[in-house]
Chains A and B, each alone.
Chain A
């Protein structure tokens, strides 16, 4: 599958990232084996700022019930890399329990580069598994905007030439040291009509929600919340034409995890 081809491309980029600096001090070489000093110098420098880490996060892993339908939703991401260069994987989607089918499922593989103090520039591939089976090129930014807004914005160009965009914003309000309210908003946009996806040009979908979590420890936090999502603009009109309700309100319950 194309996703995996692009994955290996991105990881190749990471591995071939420029070699680490090597310090030029060498006074100890006069006392100890110079080759061994060289090796140790490289290891020691690498371990003071050059380490890589693996991060796994399920921001939303939840059961939702609303408008007479039940569903499971996942919104997960992971990265591997150092302070500046990282490989990101993101996946989100929804499984409809009433119809026993995936309504949406996508995965992204991105090369991410820290470009400012608070933002990373990301580029890579998105593969939709449901609906359809579409591949996109992705360019986006992710980071922390002023006032502690966590921002993830990306533009997608599909293999069919459709340009779409998505912005997600989250905020964390500490009610106590462990009780956290997380409001969240998401907005999607398309440049043109796309009949196969039943979307119109302009804003296509939006959602707002708030989740109240309790951090048993920072990494593990069950939550409950409410989420409204709706189709917008022409896309909403298209839904109404089909006799569908363009929006829905759900109650959600889930768990937030990171390691």
Chain B
């Protein structure tokens, strides 16, 4: 049948861009005419936000969303550094809700996580948040209750700096990436529990096997299948929830609705890109238009030009683009598993459309993703010493030389030269195929039913752009390229290190830290006030996890730079992607007393138990924690950032 969805999307296209959705907030609406470039938003210091149920449609298909002030995304909140804001949140839902201010430094009891930092906002209740603004940049806010984030409860925040902004631009747009499903999110989660692969329609088939056998030989193809089969893992397990059910959104609009931002050729446009999706890591690019990354997770970075970057759920990147030509450019945010894309347009006039590139071939996981590094053909085959400073420099120069010697056979999982031998080694979960120089990791956490894999040889992957971006024919961004613009105030060597494993069993759809689901957690992770602590995360799972600590920033430890002066410019992030098979360290200054949520920002992973609490305990000498915690000395101004 010629379905209603198509009919409706045509009808809405005819009715004109500005009318795509009455539910789109004014700032997110496609521009109908070239304005001043100033975004409409809610600004000031006093805000009333009402959480409720509102009809919502995507590409013409009707549904219902949980909204703030009736829109998806929620209103843009425009604050100013140094102000104290007061936000009254009214809950008109028939269930509890909450708002968490993602990346904002504030007293923990204002952080908005039910059961951790406050009791939540009951139906009919109004809760008033109040906190001073100690930072500037692009942030966002969202529900931390149940699965509300999946159904629209998220919105952007811009905090304008108290002083001058080091980033110069003529015009700015906020681009809130999202993923929308017409399924009930609890049903979706239940489906994952019952069959974790059920939404993946990009699995390897018999046809793929024959294609691989033709290309690599029958033995190699068999060996590859045998290895994956022995481990009961799938090479196509890139994303749990896919384009099969998701429509990917930009500013609440589906690809057909085509959100459009207008420009005059030659203008510098700042795009504030926020990944507010529930489960989707995106690869972002604007074909024909290089992007200069100027900020990540709200904090300015030394400008770096790139053509594509991976953005984890909850991360933000600000980029500046300068479209010189009088033509439309397509902004593409392709889901990491390449099962769909969000699409928007930058154009000199409304109604213009650029060419929309086709989805690229789906990537495959490799041995490196299992923490079995140093196998043939994996892209970590360079030694750790080679990885850091040199490649960082070469990437500054705009080359991607660092990637090139990685083997370049990701598409075939690096199995070309791997026969049954390696397959057997892996089946034994052993490090039998380890090169002698690699050290193996000790796993002293509980394993058992919730843990299907342990990374025997995790490595740093900061110098990799992320799954699927190794072989693209243009520049890609890596964490190792990011440098904080301003030096950090605290660059002490950490006094101690805490190692934490990201663990899972895809077959049971169990996700946890150190094999313990949040439902089983008794003791939080304890930081002591004032200490500098190193948190080392080892990803034992086959998926990238955007890990988020509330209340404090991670200083991303770049291997190769030994601390000291260099450490002062390590990138500071509130959310960091830990790649499969990766061992990644962050340093944290534990200067915010209180209880803080710490979790994977993939919503269903968190819901399945991949969450913990970081408890920053006051100095033992201090008898009264409640006095201590709040308006501490550490402020983040432009100077010490």
Name A's B-contacting residues (CB within 8 A).
Answer: 20-28, 30-33, 36-37, 39-51, 53, 55, 83-84, 114-118, 144, 146-148, 173-178, 218-219, 258
Contact = CB atoms under 8 A, between A and B. Distances in A.
A219 B199 CA distance: 11
B118 A25 contact: no
B119 A32 contact: yes
A37 B119 contact: yes
Interface in B262-280: none
Classify the secondary structure of B's interface with A.
Answer: mixed
Contact of B507 (A21, A144, A147, A175): A144
A178 to B, nearest CB: 8
A27 B593 CA distance: 9
Contact of A48 (B117, B205, B519): B519
B355 interface: no
B522 A41 contact: no
B438 to A, nearest CB: 24
Nearest to B110: A31
A48 B608 contact: yes
A163 B514 CA distance: 42
Contact of B510 (A28, A30, A83): A83
Interface in B606-622: 606-609, 611, 613, 615
A23 B448 contact: no
3 nearest A-B pairs in the assembled complex, by CB-CB distance: A49-B609, A49-B517, A44-B115
A45 B522 CA distance: 10
Given A23-B522, A28-B118, A50 B517 contact: yes
A117 B615 CA distance: 31
B115 A41 contact: yes
A23 B447 CA distance: 21
A31 B626 contact: yes
A26 B626 CA distance: 12
A38 B542 CA distance: 35
Nearest to B115: A44
23 contacts: A27-B117, A27-B625, A28-B116, A30-B626, A32-B118, A32-B119, A36-B119, A46-B519, A47-B146, A48-B517, A48-B609, A49-B518, A49-B607, A51-B193, A53-B190, A53-B193, A53-B194, A55-B194, A83-B517, A114-B508, A115-B449, A148-B229, A174-B205
Contacts of A84: 449
Contact of A28 (B109, B201, B226, B447): B109
Contacts of A147: 226, 229-230
Interface of B: 108-109, 114-120, 146, 189-191, 193-195, 198-199, 201-207, 226, 229-232, 427, 447-452, 505, 507-508, 510-512, 517-524, 593-595, 606-609, 611, 613, 615, 625-626, 629
B114 A44 contact: yes
Contacts of B109: 27-28, 30-32
B119 A40 contact: yes
Contact of B611 (A20, A36, A48, A51): A48
Nearest to A116: B449
Contacts of A48: 517-519, 606-609, 611
Nearest to B511: A49
Given A31-B109, A116-B449, A177-B201, A25 B116 contact: yes
A100 B557 CA distance: 73
Contacts of B608: 48-49
Given A23-B523, A117-B450, 17 more contacts: A25-B613, A27-B109, A27-B594, A27-B625, A28-B109, A30-B626, A36-B119, A45-B519, A49-B510, A49-B512, A49-B518, A117-B447, A117-B451, A146-B229, A148-B229, A174-B203, A175-B206
B515 to A, nearest CB: 11
A155 B512 CA distance: 34
Given A37-B119, A83-B450, A117-B452, A45 B595 contact: no
Nearest to B612: A23
B521 A45 contact: yes
Contacts of A23: 115, 521-524, 613
Contacts of B116: 25, 28, 41, 44
B142 to A, nearest CB: 16
A74 B615 CA distance: 53
A31 B119 CA distance: 10
Contact of B522 (A24, A117, A175): A24
A230 to B, nearest CB: 29
B547 to A, nearest CB: 15
Contacts of A47: 146, 519, 607
Contacts of A118: 232, 452, 507
